[in-house]
Amino acid sequence: MAIQKPTLPKGTRDFGPLQMARRNYIFGIIKDTFKLFGYQQLETPSMENLSTLTGKYGDEGDQLIFKILNSGDYLKDVSVSDLGAGAGATLSKVSEKGLRYDLTVPFARYVVMNRNEISYPFKRFQIQPVWRADRPQRGRYREFYQCDADVVGTDSLVCELEILLMIKRVFAQLGLNDYAIKLNNRKILTGLAEVIGAAGRESELCVAIDKLDKIGWEKVQEELLQRGFVQEAIDKLNPIISLQGSNKEKLDFLSSFLVDSETGLKGIGELREVFDLLGKYGESEEFVDFDVVLARGLSYYTGAIFEVKVNNVSIGSVSGGGRYDNLTGVFGLEGVSGVGFSFGVDRIYDVLEELGLFPEKQLDGTEVLITYFDEQGRDYGLKVLSQLRSNLVSAELYPDAAKIKKQFTYADKKQIPFVIILGSEEIEKGQVSLKNLSTGSQESLSLESAIDTVKSSMLNHGS
């Protein structure tokens, strides 16, 4: 067999020890927060039937689902006339399964299949990879993790409050302080369409307004004209586009602006209640910014819409979500209202790296490396190793009697903070020499004292 130089598939990555430690640091904070708020973990299979996946993400989404070839003679149902008919025509003959494209559709499928066992309200979180056959580019991968939390089976706005609180806690724990949670409500967008005389066209309005940040009001107006909105209607939006002030001031303005839209006023009322609940929980609302032009593309939101942006970094949105009133309808279960959101872990990773916010001691792992010169040292080292681990100190014995410099280089590369050196003197006295690699200090100690020193250093580093 010819020897091949191995490569990775386009758009995929290995995560070595340092990246894993950093990713686990982020996952850990997110998971702890979800649990503190009473969310329970769910995992669904990587593969779903294509019948479950297709038709849920739009035509473009369907194209981007990775399909799995049927086992065995997969071409047996393909006929000569199928060749040249294009990919869509024969897909059902060669593939019946696809890879998970997001965590929302599998969650909806789970709820429908387990509707009678679930106790509502059902608060679930899910942290798993998803796959998309997108063209790979910087910051966009074909395999990436999503971290979702959703609660279904209640329309209480306490759930919206809790999402704001969870985002706040995660960002505080990560040391990310300069960010804003943008908050809007789909019903307000519906109301806007009504009062400008374009009732029922809020989806088109949203698609155009969604680009305000990127292309500016001028170009958004052009797009609205092209989509058939009349100039008179567009002009009515002017005060909305330039809306400034505190959350309360903006809500007060909207209350009169939307006075003729029952739905719009309902949206205002919901937002007011969320801010009210925030105050009752004892939180200031300054980290939440009511943004009347926040639309987010997804058309299934029916109430609150969230988006989180970190300020002064090159990366855009790192989290988002909203309320939907009919998540499971497509699988035949109507009337399940819910609200959820997602953390973009890859983007949060990039933000923390850009801002230098990862903890100094990154490689969680070995605290002590035991080094030695000969077989006698190794044998003594085995006893030392056993004692360290019994005391829950992560420790290694260098496996070979290599040159001491080589053993120290190993400790250095692995960011191991302490080295124990076992020479003939230490063995004779029944002691150990403990060297702190960051301060350079070294002392001869009883093993018990060495363990105490290492353990108190672990406590200080929070490891």
Which contacts qualify for 295-299: CB closer than 8 Å, 24 or more apart? 295/184, 295/189, 295/205, 295/206, 295/207, 295/209, 295/210, 296/206, 296/210, 296/320, 296/322, 297/206, 297/207, 297/210, 298/322, 299/203, 299/206
In a 10 Å sphere around its CB, with 0-12 CB exposed, 13-18 middle and 19+ buried, how is residue 137 labelled? exposed
Secondary structure letter of residue 54 according to DSSP: T
Q: Which of 183, 189, 277, 432 binds a copy of itself (CB under 8 A)?
A: 277
> Under rule CB under 8 A, how many of the chain's residues touch a copy of itself?
110
Contact by Cβ (8 Å): 395, 442: no
Shortest Å distance, C-beta 322 to a copy of itself: 17
Q: Which stretch binds a copy of itself (CB under 8 A): 220-228, 290-298, 397-405, 443-451?
A: 397-405
Contact region with a copy of itself (CB under 8 A), list: 6-14, 183-191, 221-229, 342-350: 6-14
One residue of 25, 44, 252, 449 binding a copy of itself per CB under 8 A: 44
CB nearer a copy of itself, residue 330 or residue 437: 330
Residue 295: name the closest of 239, 212, 221 by CA: 212
- Measured from the CB atom, the residue of 219 and 414 that comes closer to a copy of itself is 414
Whether the CB-CB separation of 305 and 181 falls below 8 Å is answered with no
Rg over alpha carbons for the chain, rounded to the nearest Å, is: 29
> Which residue among 28, 75, 175, 452 contacts a copy of itself (CB under 8 A)?
75
Helix (H, G, I), strand (E, B) or coil at 183: strand
- Candidate residues 83, 200, 242, 286; the one interacting with a copy of itself per rule CB under 8 A: 83
328 — phi, psi (to 5°)? -100, 5
Q: Pick the stretch among 109-117, 171-179, 284-292, 316-324 that binds a copy of itself (CB under 8 A).
A: 109-117
Q: Are strands 338-343 and 368-372 parallel, antiparallel or unpaired?
A: unpaired
Window 51-70: residues binding a copy of itself (CB under 8 A): 51-52, 55, 63, 66-69
User: In this structure, are residues 300 and 313 in contact, taking their beta carbons and an 8 Å threshold?
Assistant: no
Site for a copy of itself in 323-362 (CB under 8 A): 330-332
Cβ nearer to a copy of itself, comparing 259 with 392: 392
Among 24, 177, 231, 238, binds a copy of itself (CB under 8 A): 24
How far is it, in rounded angstroms, from Cα 90 to Cα 69?
Answer: 12
Q: Which long-range contacts (CB under 8 A, 24 or more apart) does 85-94 make?
A: 91/50, 91/67, 92/50, 94/69, 94/70
Rounded to the nearest 10 degrees, the angle between the axes of helix 262-281 and helix 247-257 is 160
For residue 435, the minimal CB distance to a copy of itself (Å) is: 17
Candidates 99, 189, 240, 419: give the one binding a copy of itself (CB under 8 A). Answer: 99
Binding mask of the shown chain, residues 152 to 191, with x at each position contacting a copy of itself by CB under 8 A:
--x-x-xx-x------------------------------
The binding track of 414-443 with respect to a copy of itself, each residue x by CB under 8 A or -, is x-----------------------------
| Piece in contact with a copy of itself (CB under 8 A), picked from 42-50, 189-197, 238-246, 267-275 | 42-50
Scanning 122-130, 205-213, 214-222, 242-250 for contacts with a copy of itself by CB under 8 A, the matching segment is: 122-130
Helix or strand holding residue 196 (H, E): none
The CB-of-210 to a copy of itself minimum distance in angstroms stands at: 26
Q: How far is the CB of 50 from a copy of itself (least distance, A)?
A: 10
* Segment lying near a copy of itself (by CB under 8 A), choices 178-186, 280-288, 345-353, 438-446: 280-288
Task: Assess contact for 381 and 374: CB atoms under 8 A.
Answer: no
Which amino acid belongs to residue 325? D
